[in-house]
Chain A
Amino acid sequence: MSEAFRIDVADRFSDMPYGRDSKDGDDNGEKFRKEILVPELKKHEFLIIDFNGTMGCGSSFGDEAFAGLIIYENFTVEEVKRRISFEYKYKSVINNIIKYIDEAKPRAETN
């Protein structure tokens, strides 16, 4: 099994990740998904998303970035949960992200 690739969110993206898309500023979930998450998933089988240097993780950010993989990027819930793990001192943030992933449905099914 290949070693997981670590993404330090504060170092590589922002110490204040929040918001859904560009309306909310530069540090939004859509940008994180498109510019970091999807490219790294193409290069690495497993990712560790490390939020420890951040002030928090907004729910819109978490939803758009990670549930967005299922909604917009053709990943399945099982695949996202198998390939991505999270590290943060605040467990509620990780629990929320996993809940958003579990609730996500591909876009065609939502409309």
Chain B
Amino acid sequence: MARKVFNKKDFYNLDDHPWLGYKLRYGSGFIAAGRHVLAAPSVISFYEDRYSDFFSFIKDIQSAAEKGNVLIDLRGVIEVKAGAMLLLYASIQTLQKKHGRKNIVRFTKCKLSIISSSFGRLGFWELTKQLEFLPTAVNDNSLEICTTSIEDTKRNDKAQLKKIITYTQAAIADAGLDEENVLAYNAITESVSNVWQHAYDNDFVADNFNKTLANWWIIVEKIDDQFFIAVYDIGVGIPTTLERKYWYTVYYSYTDGKLYEYAADAHRIKMAVEYGRSRFKVDNRGKGLSEAKDFVLSNPEGAMIIYSGQGSYIFKTNTGKEKLTKLPSEFPGTLIQWNLKLESKK
């Protein structure tokens, strides 16, 4: 019997073609099917002590993409976190735009179906043009990662933003809530507005920043009675924009102190969150983050998580405490994540 001819489709379906397994060793740093192979971390997350590992992985992808196409081995992945998935998606899409190749990054099949479902549901297989090879469980109760570029915004293309808001408002209405609909609209549009107003502002971005890469990315996810929203951009971080505000020194002199010197950027994020409510406020801007925090405060299980610059700011309603942390390395852009409660009032 003639042996089946190997083709590229088979390469991503190792379970269907076990004889191919030996062709793809576990690990990183070798080339298979003309691609630089990189093994993804077993837990795709940057929280706590996973921060350095995750960003080493992202940097490895970026370095490998400079040399050629990349294959990310997902067979060892056992857990994923939404924030890190958002960053991974954004990193791949940015590489696609930068290098002008949709196929610059591809994935292997996952070992665990739950992981495969997560990647498929969030739109990774579509992003890398692997829908044909990698299965995606259909789930009407979820939404893929949405993104819009600065060019789309200039063309007033609001399709992606409208999709997120419609999905979010439907989830809220389904829980029997009403007024929360506009609060969610506000929280989402303000987050997006913050991106264009600050992250990619000409006054702040470096002269060599390629504006065609400027996007926002949003992930929304409903888990039980909690609705999670995360917004990410690769622009100038909050600490940098804050320092260049004309009111910055005024505010700084009232709030800064030696107590916070260990986590200066995290403290700057805290200041940005509080500015909208500050009695020292000297202009009509900066309401977005403080209003998002109000949203979190009304949720007993609420959390507000912001990563930007060299700092992270985490506030949890159940403890009422803020955690300010200095990160091991610069966070590439800004991630703002919060959650609202969908307790049914029906």
Contact = CB atoms under 8 A, between A and B. Distances in A.
A104 B201 CA distance: 25
B179 A59 contact: no
B contact patch SS: helix
B189 A58 contact: yes
B153 A24 contact: yes
Contacts of A91: 179
A58 B197 contact: no
A58 B183 contact: no
Contacts of B153: 24-25
Contact of A59 (B161, B178, B190): B190
B284 A92 contact: no
Nearest to B156: A26
Interface residues of B, number: 31
A23 B287 contact: no
Interface in B148-177: 153-154, 156, 158, 161-162, 165-166, 169
Contacts, number: 88
Contact of B284 (A23, A58, A61, A110): A110
Nearest to B202: A23
B282 interface: yes
A67 interface: yes
Interface string A62-74: 0110010001000
A110 B282 contact: yes
Contacts of B158: 16, 25, 27
B193 A90 contact: no
Contacts of B201: 23
A55 B282 contact: no
A17 to B, nearest CB: 9
Interface string A21-51: 0011111000000000000000000000000
Contacts of B161: 16
Contacts of B181: 56, 90
Contacts of A103: 284
A59 B287 contact: yes
Given A18-B190, A55-B166, 14 more contacts: A16-B158, A16-B165, A18-B193, A23-B196, A25-B158, A55-B169, A56-B185, A56-B186, A56-B189, A57-B186, A59-B288, A60-B288, A90-B178, A90-B181
Interface of B: 153-154, 156, 158, 161-162, 165-166, 169, 178-179, 181-186, 189-190, 192-193, 196-197, 201, 282-285, 287-288, 291
